[in-house]
Structure 1
Amino acid sequence: MSVTPEQSAEALQGMFKFGQSMAEGFFDFLGKQGVAFPQAAPTPIPQIPMPESQELAKLQQELAEAHARLWASMAQLKPGESAEPLIKPQPGDRRFNAPEWSASPVFNYIRQAYLLNADYLNKVSDALPVADGRAKARMQFMTRQYIDAMAPSNFAATNPEFIQTALATKGESITQGIKNLIGDMEKGRISMTDDAAFEIGTNLATTPGSVIYENELIQLIQYAPLTDKVHKTPLLIVPPCINKFYIMDLQPANSLVRFIVEQGFTVFLVSWKNATASEAHFGWDDYLDKGPITALQVVREVTKVDKPNVLGFCVGGTILSSALGVLRAKGEDPAESLTLMTTLLDFADAGEIGCLVDEASVAAREAAIGKGGLLQGRELAQVFSSLRANDLIWQYVVGNYLKGKQPEAFDLLYWNSDSTNLAGPFLAWYLRNMYLENNLRVPGKLEMLGTKVDLGKVDLPAYLLATREDHIVPWTSAYLVRQILGGETTFVLGASGHIAGAINPASKNKRSYWVSDSTASVPEEWLETAAEQKGSWWLHWIEWLKPRSGDMVAARSKPGNAKYKVIEPAPGRYVKEKA
């Protein structure tokens, strides 16, 4: 790659200026993020402060020196030679793994120059003199969004894989990419999987059962026994209402519901309704009352067991814990045990979603849908996808549109794309009282269904699962549940993230989890004493649950009872409704 000194100077200056313009453009972009909520914000949107000039000058100098080293290494290459990269992508970043990026000195240079500029921008963002931790986290999040969007892999002119694929297919990939783009525009979302490969009730959510109760917000499913004898005490599952319940019942090999039934348990599950205009007025109290509180009563009447076991997943766990708090405040002893999967009760560090919630955004939601209205499922899905933009947005932009590929069939991504609407008053109350003001952890601070709720009075045995790489519910925050609930707690830390760590099938018995008898108040101290166990946490949990589930009795031959008759087969209508 022989170049003249003039070309070297011009290229070096160009790439350094591009790094600077990336930063300038980004902070201009950041400063405009408050434009959408000018009337909702109680105070003016603050200006984005730049780092101290001395610190900024140091970062700029480091950027210039890094580009000089990169250009020098590239300029010395002979035709056909490739150099060891001076900067490599972060672990798990697969955008530049294809051999086309290293085979060409031009594209090798482009990717490394981008990574240098991205590293510079991240450092500038980290150096911002912002005292408010949540505000700084928001800026760092927006920095990542901007950097991810600017990647050369996202653009035809700077992606050698696009060029190579177009040549190999004689342009057919470009034609197919345009068709894919038009099709996704018609759907209103990026295709992540082959939608035609799945159908709820046919090859997803297939565990046998019956809907035995329904109201405006839920259907209650009772699953058919798969063993001759079952534990006397049933289990009620409350999944999150922000997405469909069948994440817990995907296919037989990775269905948590089926696993529990196979272990000899009578399982009931709440299937939340995909909210429409008819449900747009429901608030937090309605979700508690018509959700877990009603479901618990039905389970008691059907099984004649006063204290069922209960399990909540993600926001389903927050709703369930709140409902138990209400029942305890009314003098009831509502359940035998509580299992919480990746659940927040203390929202001080609410992960990446928390950094997106501030007074202005919550006030805007309250003004728009707080008295009635819907948060559209499409918008909710976009928020969650943006948390992992490279994996859930840009990967498919490149694959579907630049390369003209069809995404493969993947049950988890089908579920991820099956979005749900939320009632506006419920969402607005949840955002303000949980994410923004963190009121749930304070005894007696919140009134729900006419009672002051103190989760410290929820004193039943609790099994708490967190996952180590969870970006939605940080495991250190999930650990703080131990300081809020009043009963004995068992904390288990699973490997992987929010979904993959929780839905870790015992049939495959992969990954690992950590356990410890420590009751340390600081999560990191607990981890120092924890021992890693190979395999799925499901096996550990089911052994915890069995002693709390009573004697073995003959399995019930029919679902429901005289009062609660079968309405339709599982998985029911509600889960099939599209946003």
Structure 2
Amino acid sequence: MPDAKADAMLPWKALDDSVHAALSRACLSISPHSVLLAWMDWATHLAASPGKCLELARLAIEQAGQMQAYLHECLAGLHEDADAGVAPPLEDRRFRDPAWQRWPFNVLHQSFLMHERWWDEATRGVWGVDPHHEHAVAFAARQWLDMFSPGNLPLANPVVLRRTAEERGANLLRGFDYLRDDLSPHQRQTGPGEFVVGRDVAVTPGKVVLKNRLIELIQYAPATGKVHPEPILIVPAWIMKYYILDLSPHNSLVRYLVEQGYTVFCISWKNPDADDRDLGMDDYLNLGFHAALDAVAAIVPGRKVHATGYCLGGTLLAIAAAAMARDGDDRLASLSLFTAQTDFTEPGELALFIDESQIALLEAQMADTGYLFAEQMGGAFMMLRSYDLLWSRLVGEYLLGERRPMNDLMAWNADATRMPAKMHAQYLRRLFLDDDLSEGRHPVGGRSVSLGDIRLPVFSVGTVADHVAPWRSVYKLHYLSPTEITFVLTTGGHNAGIVSEPGRPRRQYQLHTRPAGGGYIAPDEWQAAVPVQQGSWWPAWADWLRQRSGEPGEPPRMGLPGRGRRVLGDAPGEYVRGK
């Protein structure tokens, strides 16, 4: 029972909570305290570093001289042969058009690149600055500079000016219509009739065989006369809808698996609302993974299960597997983890949004609403890839009047979900902030689990261009568990690297198996030593599963009516349609 002093503090706490929630909404869920602390840390340490200040001044003078000489050559009519001064980075697509090399746009974009270089030097390598603050300041400086890039300004972008002249402004009128559509209450999500769930995407035939307050479990119909006896249970991330693994028929991983002769089950998470605010990580384990596993074990009795997890679903699966190993539960045959981190000490650019102040602000807002809005997570990802996801779209659609055609992956990406307040706060703190899982402190059922207890063979996939779960972070499972690990590094990003069907062009991967108890190889050494193979990694995974599966036989029934596992409806079910 709370004491009198605690009771007396409750009104003050309620006031603080309401203020913090309002602050979170006003600041778009970005902690102003974190931003202020980062800038103060950087500015005060820079002020105490006269050598660094002199170096920055020297660089500014050098750049001013370069620009003066370049401008002089341009004005003298020699700009076609003038030294460019600063070359855009190879991966920078902003100034590729030849029009950027003509006066005066060449001067504009060179000046911008020089400013970008100066701020990159200014925000890095400052003595005494906390690394998290350094990354935050550098990131903020890039975001601020990107806002004023000449490529984003209609009067400073030669491509926009040329298009406007050619079309006599029709491109701007189309862009205005696109902007109006996007700002309307019925904003364009998946396009007019495009990629409807159950009609165009998530169409692999199957039945819903389990439903509780958190999940629907889909059992997919067999596509072959005989199937391997070990079923596959897929645990997708709860941040987005499950059908990233069942997009269009040509690139559906689920369809590919059933065509390879497997009985496939997949969890479809409910899109939570305010009534689900108290669902926590244990609920996602018990009502999610364990409820699904119990159903699979009843429908396919006496057979071990190939468990497969994607993104945070893979992290949840690793936690569950460690708890099962601790408790002597041997129902799993193998573990496949796709872009799933188990060590969060280097979580990539998402770490920019992870500190005590930021999480506390999110907790205050979620306490008020009961969940995290889908748009907030999407906004964080958009900031991390602001050019690809924001500025290039604004220029292309609103200034050039070119609406990019929708594809199935874009439609899925727009179909975001919410997250319960308790669960989201727990995984942010336990995983990202405190790294409890890799350090053996993560509780399941009131007792800590250790990844070192896992003895199942593991198939782990990382992607080269992953900004959500960097592959070197995914690779860290090698020193957290002594089990056999087959690691695959494939081209693509967090999503496109997993949706990598056979026949897709420009795909390659590296694969190597470390035996159980084998020696550790550092990730960069691994990447340099393992040969590159062309094509999709899906067939390699199918071969890996086949080596750990029995001879095909008769497929199981759909559901199990006699044991409370009756068929509840057709796939993809109702939860995936929840808004």
Closer/same/farther in 2, CA of residues 253 and 36 from structure 1, 3 Å limit: closer
Q: 1:96 to 1:452 in 2, by over 3 A?
A: same
Q: Does 1:275 align with 2:272?
A: yes
SS at match of 2:459: strand
Aligned counterpart, 2:355: 358
What is aligned with 1:577? 578
Partner-residue secondary structure (3-state), 1:565: coil
Contact 2:488 2:509 (C-alpha < 8 Å) held by counterparts:
yes
| Aligned-partner Cα distance in 1 for 2:454–2:30 | 41
Aligned-partner Cα distance in 2 for 1:209–1:34: 41
- CA deviation vs aligned residue, 1:233-279 (integer Å, no higher than 9, x gap): 00000111111111111112211111111111100001111111222
> In the aligned structure 2, how far is the partner of 1:394 from the partner of 1:46?
25
CA displacement at 1:329 relative to structure 2: 2.9
How many residues of Structure 1 are paired with residues of Structure 2 in the alignment?
A: 542
Aligned to 2:542: 542
* Structure 1 segment 414-563 matched on structure 2, within 5 A: 414-443=411-440, 445-508=441-504, 510-517=506-513, 519-556=519-556, 558-562=558-562, 563=564
SS of structure 2 residue aligned to 1:212: strand
Q: Give the aligned residue type for 1:163.
A: L
Alignment of 1:394-409 (within 5 A): 394-409=391-406
TM-score, normalising length: structure 2: 0.88
Counterpart contact for 1:342–1:465, Cα < 8 Å: yes
Q: Give the match for residue 5 of structure 2.
A: none
Distance of 2:474 and 2:304 partners within structure 1 = 25
Which residue in 2 is equivalent to 1:377?
374
Instruction: Provide the secondary structure at the position in 1 that maps to 2:112.
Output: helix
Q: Shift of the alpha carbon at 1:557?
A: 5.4
Q: Which amino acid aligns with 1:96?
A: F
| Partner of residue 110, structure 1 | 108
Task: Specify whether residues 396 and 251 from structure 1 end up closer, same or farther in structure 2 by C-alpha distance, changes over 3 A only.
Answer: same
CA distance in 1, matches of 2:234, 2:365: 32
Match of 1:309 in 2: 306
Query: Partner of 1:324 in structure 2?
Result: 321
SS in 2 for 1:554: coil
| Superimposed CA distance per residue, residues 66-123 of structure 1 (whole angstroms, 9 cap, x where no aligned partner) | 3432342343246595346332222232222223322x31111111111111111111
Task: Say if 2:478 and 2:520, in contact at 8 Å, map to a contact too.
Answer: no
CA shift at 1:46, angstroms? Answer: 6.8
How many Å separate the matches in 1 of 2:257 and 2:551? 16
In structure 2, the CA distance between the partners of 1:308 and 1:370, relative to structure 1 (3 Å rule), is farther
Write the distance in 2 (CA, Å) between the matches of 1:80 and 1:116: 21
Structure 2 unaligned segments of length 5 or more: list them. 1-25
Does the 8 Å CA contact 1:233/1:550 hold for their aligned counterparts? yes
Is the Cα contact below 8 Å between 1:372 and 1:425 reproduced in 2? no
Shift of 1:517: 4.4
> 2-side partners of 1:33 and 1:198: how far apart?
34
CA gap 1:375/1:528 in 2 versus in 1, 3 angstroms: same
1:47 partnered with 2:40: yes
Partner Cα distance (1:379, 1:323) in 2: 28
Question: Residue 224 of structure 1 contacts residue 559 of structure 1 at CA under 8 Å; is this kept in 2?
Answer: no
User: Structure 1 residues 414, 38: closer, same or farther in 2, change over 3 A?
Assistant: closer
Distance 1:366 1:557, change over 3 A: closer
In 1, the alpha carbon distance for the partners of 2:270 and 2:557 equals: 28
Q: Using a 3 Å threshold, how does the CA distance of structure 1 residues 130 and 561 change in structure 2: closer, same or farther?
A: farther
Identical amino acids, percent of aligned pairs: 33
C-alpha contact (below 8 Å) 2:38/2:136 kept by paired residues:
no
Q: Mark the CA change 1:417 to 1:384 in structure 2 (over 3 Å): closer, same or farther.
A: same
Deviation (angstroms), 1:194:
4.2
Offset of 1:560 from its aligned partner? 4.5
Specify whether residues 35 and 504 from structure 1 end up closer, same or farther in structure 2 by C-alpha distance, changes over 3 A only: closer
1:522 shift after superposition: 2.2
Q: What is the identity, as a one-letter code, of the residue corresponding to 1:115?
A: L
- What is residue 173 of structure 2 aligned with on the other side? 175
Letter in 2 for 1:98: D
On the 8 A contact 1:371/1:424 being kept in 2, the answer is no
Distance (whole Å) between structure 1 residues aligned to residue 167 and residue 324 of structure 2? 64
**Helix, strand or coil for the counterpart of 2:452?**
helix
Contiguous gaps of at least 5 residues in structure 1? 1-31
Shift of 1:372: 7.2
CA distance in 2, matches of 1:283, 1:212: 24
Is the CA contact 1:192–1:396 (under 8 Å) kept in the aligned structure 2?
no
- The within-5 A match list for 1:62-211 is 62-77=59-74, 82-83=80-81, 85-102=84-101, 104-187=102-185, 194=191, 196-211=193-208
- The SS at the match of 2:510 is strand
Which segment is superposed worse, 70-79 or 303-312?
Answer: 70-79
Offset, 1:409: 1.9
Find the residue that maps to 1:76 and give its secondary structure: helix
Worse-matched range after superposition: 176-185 or 541-550: 176-185
Q: What residue is the counterpart of 1:9 in the other structure?
A: none
After superposition, the Cα gap between the structure-2 partners of 1:501 and 1:542, relative to the gap in structure 1 and judged at 3 Å, is same
Assess, with a 3 A threshold, how the Cα gap between structure 1 residues 141 and 469 changes in structure 2: closer, same or farther: same
C-alpha separation in 2, matches of 1:446 and 1:370: 23
Distance 2:208 2:474 in 1: 32
**Which residue of 279, 289, 296 corresponds with 2:286?**
289
Match of 2:365 among 358, 362, 368: 368
Instruction: Please state how far the C-alpha of 1:486 moved relative to its aligned partner.
Output: 4.5
- Alpha-carbon distance between aligned partners in 1 of 2:52 and 2:464, rounded to the nearest angstrom: 34
**Are the equivalent residues in 2 in contact too, given 1:141–1:352 (CA < 8 A)?**
no
Offset at 1:461?
Answer: 0.8
Distance 1:467 1:37 in 2: 30
